[in-house]
Amino acid sequence: MAKFIRRLQKVGSSILVSLPIEWITANKLEKSDEVELETGTNSISITPTGNSRPPKEVVIEYPVSKKENISADITGAYLLGYDIIKIKGKSAILVEDREKIRGLMRRLVGMEIVDEDATNVNVQFLLDSTTLSPEKILKRMSSIAFALFRDTINSLVSDDKTVLQTIPSRDDEIDRQYFLLVRLIRSALVDKRLATIFNLGNIDILDYRIAANLMESAGDTIVELANSIPDLGSSKTESKKLHSLAVEIENIHDKATVSFIENNRLLAIEAITSFRNYQKKISDIMSSLESRKQVSLQFLDLVYTLEKLARCWADIADLVKPVYK
């Protein structure tokens, strides 16, 4: 993205600024053509009217180098905001690579195969980014994680643990939303018009990127938790104690997510305070267990995993900025 410096000029009662000739030429504009202006608090974006923004396009040569793989290349292009990704082969695309591409289309929200033959596959992002909302995507990630966690910890006090088998596949939806959110906020970083539509400044975009990463990590931690519960082998008393300890994380989760989305500093402080109290409770439990030689490593690992998950939510709350007068 090129940058230009222009000096404001006063002509009559108006303040004028000239536009770069390179931009005028690239958008095929002429005298008397109209442009659309969108203003933010500290920014302004100019878009040609009646001249849709050209889609970003990238070509991936096939076969890819041995140090790369087709899945990583396509995912990278998606996250960088490319609208059209063309896989052009010097030879026929292998069946296993075609299956990888089709599998990716199920993971990358909005991406679809629009054309293919023996040596080429063209995929395109079919959603309008301006109609999407980073806030709603983050809320959806949080909602999915909340449901995953509740089902996981309820299995601690339930004899039926079959629900744990569904957790990894349900976490895939968090990953899908995560990729979409990263794509959006990266696009907003280089497209000020999109950032204005989302009402996000550069700091906000960075915070959303960190929050998204923390939520994706939380989903992975819940999967880790679900995988470890069947091997726990604890008594019902210990399982109930773990369940009681885990339920407190839901309160931290809820306050952290709401405080970040609403930029509510007081609620963020409540979430962080709840996390510190939770840490103290875990510390007390671990101290009481030191004298007991019968405590399993699986039990201890589960306690630490719960703390790791609670820290994800506390870190999200910690992103909420203080309000200075």
Q: Whole-angstrom Cα distance, residue 29 to residue 106?
A: 39
How high is the pLDDT of residue 182?
96
CATH class given for the domain over 130-317:
mainly alpha
Weakest mean pLDDT among 145-149, 178-182, 232-236, 260-264? 232-236
86 Rama sector, left if φ>0, alpha if ψ -120 to 50, beta otherwise: beta
The answer, yes or no, to whether residue 272 has pLDDT greater than 80, is yes
Residue 19 pLDDT grade (very low, low, confident, very high; cuts 50, 70, 90): confident
The answer, yes or no, to whether residue 87 has pLDDT greater than 90, is yes
H or E segment and range at residue 39: strand 35-39
Query: What token pair was written down for 56?
Result: 């970003």
How high is the pLDDT of residue 1?
61
Residue 12 pLDDT grade (very low, low, confident, very high; cuts 50, 70, 90): low
* 111 within 8 A of 181, measured Cβ to Cβ: no
Q: Whole-angstrom Cα distance, residue 39 to residue 247?
A: 45
Residue 212 pLDDT grade (very low, low, confident, very high; cuts 50, 70, 90): very high
How high is the pLDDT of residue 291?
63
Q: Whole-angstrom Cα distance, residue 172 to residue 96?
A: 21
Q: Whole-angstrom Cα distance, residue 99 to residue 97?
A: 5
* 183 within 8 A of 81, measured Cβ to Cβ: yes
pTM over 0.75: yes
Count H helices, E strands: the chain?
A: 10, 8
The answer, yes or no, to whether residue 34 has pLDDT greater than 80, is no
Residue 16 pLDDT grade (very low, low, confident, very high; cuts 50, 70, 90): confident
The answer, yes or no, to whether residue 286 has pLDDT greater than 90, is no
Q: What share of the chain has pLDDT > 90, as a percent?
A: 63
Residue 239 pLDDT grade (very low, low, confident, very high; cuts 50, 70, 90): confident
Q: Whole-angstrom Cα distance, residue 306 to residue 247?
A: 10
How far apart, in Å, do the first and last CA atoms of the chain sit? Answer: 35
How high is the pLDDT of residue 53?
64
> Domain residues of the chain, as ranges?
9-48, 57-125, 130-317
Amino acid at 182: V
Q: Whole-angstrom Cα distance, residue 285 to residue 149?
A: 21
Q: What share of the chain has pLDDT > 70, as a percent?
A: 94
Residue 297 C-beta-side C-alpha neighbours within 13 Å:
0
Amino acid at 49: T
Q: Whole-angstrom Cα distance, residue 230 to residue 185?
A: 38
Most confident of 35-44, 63-72, 129-138, 278-287: 129-138
How high is the pLDDT of residue 22?
83
Coil vs helix vs strand at 316: helix
Is domain 57-125 annotated with CATH 3.30.110.60? yes
Q: Whole-angstrom Cα distance, residue 14 to residue 60?
A: 48
Long-range contacts of 161-164 (CB under 8 A, 24+ apart): 161/229, 161/230, 164/226, 164/227, 164/229, 164/230
H or E segment and range at residue 46: strand 44-48
| Per-residue pLDDT reduced to its tens digit, 158-211 | 988 999 999 999 999 999 999 999 999 999 988 877 888 898 988 999 999 999
User: Locate tokens 């979430």: which residue?
Assistant: 271
How high is the pLDDT of residue 101?
96
Average pLDDT over the chain reads: 89
Higher pLDDT, 66 or 10: 66
| Per-residue pLDDT reduced to its tens digit, 121-150 | 999 999 999 899 999 999 999 999 999 999
Q: Whole-angstrom Cα distance, residue 288 to residue 191?
A: 55
Q: Whole-angstrom Cα distance, residue 275 to residue 269?
A: 10
H or E segment and range at residue 117: none
* 258 within 8 A of 271, measured Cβ to Cβ: no
Query: What token pair was written down for 217?
Result: 């990590």
Q: Whole-angstrom Cα distance, residue 256 to residue 262?
A: 10
